[in-house]
Structure 1
Amino acid sequence: MGETKENELRNVTFEAIAAGRRAAEDGEVVGVLFGEGAASHAEKMIQYGGRPCHSVGNGGTKQYTTDAYMQAMEQVCEEEQAEGLVIGIHRAVRIWRRDFPERLGSGLITDCVDIEGDGADAHFIRPVYSGKAF
């Protein structure tokens, strides 16, 4: 899931695509952007390896609401038969991590700062002690 700030893609978007590519091994990484004007950033996400790219910016997703964004993301995940979801530090994560994995029937790994290995051998690195140790 990509993020924009002041109508520019944030670096965390490209970090998420790279992490998804490492974890996906030979699978496809699908980029997703929300909000008005999201489609204008799709080409840049595709250049970094997030294809196909879904831009969700009409209906109930123009202004952020948890339910509308979660429902739209769930629909994209179902359409693409997603095996995982990579989101940077986004305002939605704090709320989504409670409900979204259950809706998708999947697990959840939060606060990762790195991935070691690829595909099925991937290990997700998280900081401990509030980021004071790894």
Structure 2
Amino acid sequence: MRDDETDPVLARRTALAVLGAGLAAGCSTYGGTQAPPPAAQQPPAAGGTELGPAGDIPVGGGKVFADKQVVVTQPAAGTFAAFSAVCTHQGCTVDAVADGTINCPCHGSKFKIADGSVANGPASQPLPKKAVTVTGGKVTLA
């Protein structure tokens, strides 16, 4: 017979450990898509990864490239910025850019399109910056 079958304290600890692991797994994907683990992310190809036409990025807005885990914004005409599309609160992928903010569907965090700083929590850290270039009308992730 195992110790945890006879000792009520050990049995309770085992049950709590199993329950805690299940709750943590369930919360990690609530309401949105979770970012893939870093090992699954591919490094950019030599010369960068083309994201698409610069014309697809609206002035005062942006576009989420969920498959590349990046969001590109154009806060002012001809000025482009890029950030990780992974919310710094709990790792969900942001899904929209509207009214001057990058928005996370999971818990309502919002980030400013100009610099990725937090406009509305619960996130407390800004979105990490990414390097992009615009050449020949194409946006490329460096």
Please indicate, yes or no, whether the TM-score normalized by the shorter chain is above 0.5.
no
Larger Rg: 2
The structure that is strand-richer by fraction is 2
The TM-score with structure 1 as length reference comes to 0.21
- Whichever structure has more helix as a proportion of its residues is 1
